[in-house]
C-alpha cells in the first residue's frame, strides 16, 4: 500500500503528475512475519495463564491497526498500488495525448482525465473536472449529440459526434469531435467508459475554405463562354453548366434532378459516337467530335465536343468530362470554316454508315450511324476496331477482297451483300471506294454500309405471299376438278347402294368405294381450307360448350399416355365460327401435340377473353387491337426447332416420316382461322413444348363486326345466302320426296345425268341444260314455269352469276341453288347486291342434293 497526503496536489488521482512511488519490500514482509512467529513462541514458553494477558494485548493492537487501515483506505489516505497506473509507458501516453481523454465509472463519475480534457472542458482546478454531459448540459446545440453519446455508452457501443460550440464573452466558437467507447468487449465487461474530445476547428475552417474555392470554380465554370457537361455510364446527364443549358433552352433544375439523358441533347445518332469509345484499362482518352446538339424547341445547333473519358482498372468507363464549343458562332465569325462545319454535320447525320479503314479493315474513323451499328452488333466494341467484324464469317472474305481492291486504287468495285454478325438475322450492303493515293498510308478505303434487313424481309414476305397465292390458286383449281369427279363417283355410288342389299357379295366393295370417296373429299376440303376458298357456315356459339362436346373425341385421339386438361375462362364472349371447321382446328392441333409426345405428356386447352387493351399490349404482329376470345393449345412435347418454326404453316411441309402425314394439317388450321377472321401464333421451345395461340373476334350482335369469309379472302361484300343455317332451324323431315319442276344446269354431261336421275327418283320433274344459254332457252320454252334452278357456277358461254341475273329479269322470285367445286365466296363478288340464293358445295351425295332442293323449295 501507499499513502498520499490530502493536501498534496501532486498526488491527485485525476491524472496530475505524482512523485515516484516506492514499491513494496519482501524483506519487510519477512521481518514482520518473523516477529509474529517469535511472539507466538515466547507466549508458548510462558504458559497459558501467564501469556494470556500478553496475547489479548497483541490481538487488540492488531485489531486497532486493521481498523485504522480500513478507515484510511475509505478516506483515500491509504490505497493499494496500481501497477497499470504506474506503467512508465501507458500513463504518459494518456496524459499527453492530443485529444482530451476521460474515464468514467458505471455511476458516471470521472476516475481519470488528462490535461487536454481539463483544457477543453474549461476546468480551472482538479476539483472542477466534470463528465461530458455536465459540461455541455446547458448548450442546446450540443445537448442532442451528448444524449446520443450517453445512450451509446449505456449500451456499451462506440459512437462519434461532431458539434459546434458557440463562443462566450467575445470568444469565437469552435468545433469539437466527441467519441465514446466502452472499456471491454461486452456490456457486462464494460464497467468503465472512455470519453475523448478533440478540437477540429482548424480542420473545419480548411474544409470551408476548400468548399468556398470549389463554389467559385463551379460559378466560373457555369458562366464560362463554353459549354460543359458530364455523362455517367448509364447515359444520364449528371452535370451541365449554365452556358450550355442556356444554349439548349433547358432549365438547370430539371437537369440536376436526372431528367435528361445524353440522347435528349444529341441529334440523330450522335450519342453513339460518345458511347462507342473503347480503350485499355486505366487509359484516359480525349476524342474530338463535330455533331449537332438538339435544343429544347427541336432545333439543332452545330458544336464541337472535346470528350474526355477515363477507364478504370476493370476497363469500364467512368463519368465523362466534355467541353462544348458552339460551331454556329464559328460560322458567323469565320465564313471560310462553313464548308468544314457543314461537311461534318452531313457526315455524321447521313442515314448510311460510313467508315474509313486501312488495308486490314481496321476502322480509322466512323460516323455516328456506324458507331450505332457497332453498338447494336457488338456492345464490346469489336466492330469499332475492324469493319470485318461486322459481317459473318461466310461473307468476311468478300468484304476483305473489296477493301484490298480499293487499297490498290481499283475503281467500280461491286457492292458486297453480306449477313451481319448478329444474334438475329440481319443483312447489309457494303459499298467500297478507293481514296487518293497520297492518303493510303493510314486510310486505304471508304466503306459505306446500308442495312437491308427490312428490304429483304419485305421481299421474302412478298415472295412468300405470291407463292402461297399461286399454290392456293392451284389447290383451288385442283379441288374444283376433283370435286366434280368425286360428285359423280359419290352419286353413282349412292345408286349402287340403293340397288344392292347388305347381304349382296358386292355390297362391301361398294361401301369401300364410298369410304375412299369420303376420304378424298376430306383431302379436297383441306386443300380448300389452306387456299381459304372453302365455304364456311358460321354460327354464333360459346367456345366452352363446343370444347366440352369435343372432350370425348379428343381423349380417344390423344390416347391414355397423354393427359387432357380443359381450362375454361369465365364468362366467355360469343364468337361466330363454323362449328365443324373449328372442331377440325382443335382436332388437328391435338393430333400434332400427341405425335410430339410419344412417351406421354400433358395437353392443355385454355380459353380466356382478351380485351382490346390487352391485345394492344400483346403486340402480336398483324393483329389489330380489338376484343378477342383466346384459345391456347399447349403440349409438353419435343417442341419445334427454331429454324423451321416459320415454315410450319406452309402446305405440304411436314417433319413426320413419309406416309405418316400429308403436310396439310397446320396449313388447314391456318386457313380456317384466317378465313374466320382470326389470328394464330405459335410459341415453342425445344424439349419444353409448344403453344398455339388462337384469337377469334368477339361477336357483337348489334354491330355484327365479325369479318365474313369473303371479306377475309378479298372477295368484297357478302351476298345474302338463303341456305345459311339459323340457330332456330327446324329439324329436317325424314321424307325427302317432293314435287315440282327443276331446271338442272351442268356442263359435265355425266354428272348432270346422274343428278337428274337422282332428282327424278325422288318425284321431281327435271329439265336438263348444258350451259347458261340452254337454260335461258329452257325457261322461255316453259314460259317461266320453273319452280327451282340448280346450276353449276363455272360453265362455258354463260356462267352461273350471269345466268342468275338473266333469270331474275324474267322471274324476280325464281329460286336458285348454286353447286360448285369452288368456294361460295369465289364468285360472290360477281353477283349483284341483295341477291338471294342457296349454295351446295361439291362433292355431295344424293341425299344432300335432295335435302337442299326440298329445303329451298319450302323456303318462303
Among 7-11, 173-177, 214-218, 270-274, the range scoring the smallest mean pLDDT is: 7-11
Average pLDDT of the residues in 164-184: 81
Distance CA 633, CA 635 (A): 7
User: Which among 794, 798, 818 is positioned nearest to 806, based on CA atoms?
Assistant: 798
Among 2-6, 424-428, 853-857, the range scoring the smallest mean pLDDT is: 2-6
Tell me the per-residue pLDDT of 790-812, one tens digit each, with 9 for 90 and over: 988 878 778 788 888 888 888 88
pLDDT at 258: 58
pLDDT of residue 278 exceeding 80: no
The mean predicted confidence, pLDDT, of the chain is: 76
Please say whether the beta carbons of 707 and 576 come within 8 A.
no
pLDDT at 408: 83
Helix (H) or strand (E) holding 40: helix 26-46
What's CA 378's distance to the chain center, in Å?
A: 20
Distance CA 470, CA 477 (A): 11
Instruction: List all residues 6 or more positions away from 711 whose beta carbon is below 8 Å from its beta carbon.
Output: 677, 717, 718
pLDDT at 529: 54
Instruction: List all residues 6 or more positions away from 304 whose beta carbon is below 8 Å from its beta carbon.
Output: 288, 289, 290, 324, 325, 327
Average pLDDT of the residues in 400-412: 84
Tell me the per-residue pLDDT of 671-708, one tens digit each, with 9 for 90 and over: 788 878 899 998 888 888 899 999 999 988 765 544 43
pLDDT at 629: 93
Instruction: Decide which of 852 and 214 is more confident.
Output: 852
Q: Which domains does the chain have, with CATH numbers?
A: 89-199 (3.30.450.20), 224-328 (3.30.450.20), 533-697 (3.30.565.10), 741-858 (3.40.50.2300)
Average pLDDT of the residues in 244-257: 76
Q: Which of 319-323, 399-403, 662-666, 746-750 has the highest mean pLDDT?
A: 399-403
pTM attached to this predicted model: 0.41
pLDDT at 190: 64
Average pLDDT of the residues in 806-834: 73
Among 127-131, 142-146, 150-154, the range scoring the smallest mean pLDDT is: 127-131
pLDDT at 728: 40
Tell me the per-residue pLDDT of 331-384, one tens digit each, with 9 for 90 and over: 555 556 666 667 766 777 777 888 888 888 888 888 778 887 777 776 555 556
How many helices (DSSP H) and strands (DSSP E) are in the chain? Answer: 28, 29
Average pLDDT of the residues in 482-509: 79
pLDDT at 695: 94
**What phi and psi values does residue 799 have, to the nearest 5 degrees?**
-85, 180
Tell me the per-residue pLDDT of 435-480, one tens digit each, with 9 for 90 and over: 876 666 678 888 888 888 888 878 877 776 676 667 666 666 666 6
- What single-letter DSSP state applies at residue 688? T
Residues of the chain with pLDDT > 70, as a percent, come to 77
Distance CA 252, CA 641 (A): 54
Amino acid at each position: 500500500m501507499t499513502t498520499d497526503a490530502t493536501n498534496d496536489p501532486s498526488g491527485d488521482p485525476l491524472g496530475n503528475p505524482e512523485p515516484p512511488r516506492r514499491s513494496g519490500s519482501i524483506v519487510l514482509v519477512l521481518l514482520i512475519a518473523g516477529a509474529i512467529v517469535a511472539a507466538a513462541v515466547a507466549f508458548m514458553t510462558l504458559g497459558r495463564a501467564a501469556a494470556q494477558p500478553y496475547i489479548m494485548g497483541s490481538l487488540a493492537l492488531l485489531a486497532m491497526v486493521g481498523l485504522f487501515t480500513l478507515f484510511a483506505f475509505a478516506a483515500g489516505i491509504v490505497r493499494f498500488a496500481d501497477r497499470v497506473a504506474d506503467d512508465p509507458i501507458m500513463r504518459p501516453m494518456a496524459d499527453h495525448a492530443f485529444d482530451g481523454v476521460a474515464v468514467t465509472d458505471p455511476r458516471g463519475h470521472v476516475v481519470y482525465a488528462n490535461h487536454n480534457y481539463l483544457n477543453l472542458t474549461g476546468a480551472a482546478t482538479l476539483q472542477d473536472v466534470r463528465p461530458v454531459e455536465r459540461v455541455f448540459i446547458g448548450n442546446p446545440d450540443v445537448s442532442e449529440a451528448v444524449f446520443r453519446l450517453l445512450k451509446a455508452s449505456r449500451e456499451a457501443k462506440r459512437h462519434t459526434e461532431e458539434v459546434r460550440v458557440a463562443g462566450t464573452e467575445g470568444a469565437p466558437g469552435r468545433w469539437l469531435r466527441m467519441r465514446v467507447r466502452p472499456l471491454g468487449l461486452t456490456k457486462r465487461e464494460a464497467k468503465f467508459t472512455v470519453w475523448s474530445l478533440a478540437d477540429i476547428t482548424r480542420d473545419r475552417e480548411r474544409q470551408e475554405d476548400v468548399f468556398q474555392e470549389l463554389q467559385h470554380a463551379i460559378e466560373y465554370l457555369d458562366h464560362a463562354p463554353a459549354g460543359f457537361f458530364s455523362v455517367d455510364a448509364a447515359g444520364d446527364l449528371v452535370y451541365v453548366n449554365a452556358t450550355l443549358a442556356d444554349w439548349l433552352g433547358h432549365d438547370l433544375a430539371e437537369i440536376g434532378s436526372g431528367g435528361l439523358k445524353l440522347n435528349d441533347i444529341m441529334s440523330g445518332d450522335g450519342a453513339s459516337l460518345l458511347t462507342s469509345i473503347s480503350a485499355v484499362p486505366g487509359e484516359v482518352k480525349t476524342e474530338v467530335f463535330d455533331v449537332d446538339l438538339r435544343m429544347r424547341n427541336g432545333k439543332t445547333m452545330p458544336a464541337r465536343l472535346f470528350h474526355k473519358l477515363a477507364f478504370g482498372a476493370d476497363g469500364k468507363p467512368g463519368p465523362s468530362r466534355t467541353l462544348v464549343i458552339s460551331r454556329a458562332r464559328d460560322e458567323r465569325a469565320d465564313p471560310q470554316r462553313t464548308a468544314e462545319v457543314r461537311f461534318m454535320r452531313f457526315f455524321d447525320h447521313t442515314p448510311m454508315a460510313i467508315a474509313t479503314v486501312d488495308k486490314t479493315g481496321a476502322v480509322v474513323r466512323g460516323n455516328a450511324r456506324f458507331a450505332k451499328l457497332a453498338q447494336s452488333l457488338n456492345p464490346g466494341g469489336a466492330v469499332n476496331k475492324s469493319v470485318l467484324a461486322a459481317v459473318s464469317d461466310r461473307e468476311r472474305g468478300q468484304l476483305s477482297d473489296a477493301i484490298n481492291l480499293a487499297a490498290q486504287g481499283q475503281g467500280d468495285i461491286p457492292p458486297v451483300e453480306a449477313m451481319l454478325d448478329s444474334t438475329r438475322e440481319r443483312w447489309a450492303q457494303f459499298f467500297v471506294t478507293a481514296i487518293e493515293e497520297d492518303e493510303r498510308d493510314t486510310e486505304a478505303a471508304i466503306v459505306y454500309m446500308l442495312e437491308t434487313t427490312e428490304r429483304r424481309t419485305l421481299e421474302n414476305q412478298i415472295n412468300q405471299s405470291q407463292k402461297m397465292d399461286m399454290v392456293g390458286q392451284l389447290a383451288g383449281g385442283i379441288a374444283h376438278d376433283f370435286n366434280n369427279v368425286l360428285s359423280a363417283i359419290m352419286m353413282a355410288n349412292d345408286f349402287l347402294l340403293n340397288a344392292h342389299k347388305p347381304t349382296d357379295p358386292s355390297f362391301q366393295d361398294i361401301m369401300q368405294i364410298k369410304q375412299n370417296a369420303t376420304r378424298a373429299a376430306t383431302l379436297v376440303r383441306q386443300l380448300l381450307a389452306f387456299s381459304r376458298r372453302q365455304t364456311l357456315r358460321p354460327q354464333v356459339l360459346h367456345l366452352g360448350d363446343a370444347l366440352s362436346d369435343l372432350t370425348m373425341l379428343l381423349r380417344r385421339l390423344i390416347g391414355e399416355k397423354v393427359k387432357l386438361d380443359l381450362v375454361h375462362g369465365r364468362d366467355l364472349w360469343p364468337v361466330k365460327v363454323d362449328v365443324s371447321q373449328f372442331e377440325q382446328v382443335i382436332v388437328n392441333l391435338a393430333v400434332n401435340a400427341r405425335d410430339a409426345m410419344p412417351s406421354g405428356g400433358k395437353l392443355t386447352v385454355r380459353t380466356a377473353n382478351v380485351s382490346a387493351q390487352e391485345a394492344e399490349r400483346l403486340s402480336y404482329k398483324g393483329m389489330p387491337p380489338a376484343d378477342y376470345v383466346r384459345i391456347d393449345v399447349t403440349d409438353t412435347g419435343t417442341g419445334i426447332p427454331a429454324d423451321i418454326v416459320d415454315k410450319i404453316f406452309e402446305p405440304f411441309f411436314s417433319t413426320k416420316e413419309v406416309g405418316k402425314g400429308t403436310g396439310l394439317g397446320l396449313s388447314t388450321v391456318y386457313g380456317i382461322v384466317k378465313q374466320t377472321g382470326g389470328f394464330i401464333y405459335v410459341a415453342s421451345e425445344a424439349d419444353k413444348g409448344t403453344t398455339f395461340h388462337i384469337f377469334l373476334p368477339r361477336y357483337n350482335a348489334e354491330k355484327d363486326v365479325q369479318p365474313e369469309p369473303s371479306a377475309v379472302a378479298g372477295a368484297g361484300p357478302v351476298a345474302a345466302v338463303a341456305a345459311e343455317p339459323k340457330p332456330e332451324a327446324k329439324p329436317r323431315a325424314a321424307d325427302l320426296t317432293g314435287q315440282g319442276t327443276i331446271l338442272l344446269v351442268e356442263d359435265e354431261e355425266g354428272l348432270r345425268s346422274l343428278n337428274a336421275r337422282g332428282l327424278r327418283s325422288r318425284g321431281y320433274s327435271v329439265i336438263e341444260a348444258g350451259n347458261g344459254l340452254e337454260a335461258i332457252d329452257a325457261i322461255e320454252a316453259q314460259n317461266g314455269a320453273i319452280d327451282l334452278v340448280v346450276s353449276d357456277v363455272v360453265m362455258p358461254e354463260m356462267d352461273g352469276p350471269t345466268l342468275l341475273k338473266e333469270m331474275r329479269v324474267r322471274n324476280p322470285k325464281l329460286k336458285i341453288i348454286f353447286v360448285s367445286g369452288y368456294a361460295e365466296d369465289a364468285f360472290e363478288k360477281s353477283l349483284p347486291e341483295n341477291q338471294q340464293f342457296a349454295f351446295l358445295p361439291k362433292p355431295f351425295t344424293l341425299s344432300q342434293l335432295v335435302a337442299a332442293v326440298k329445303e329451298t323449295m319450302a323456303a318462303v
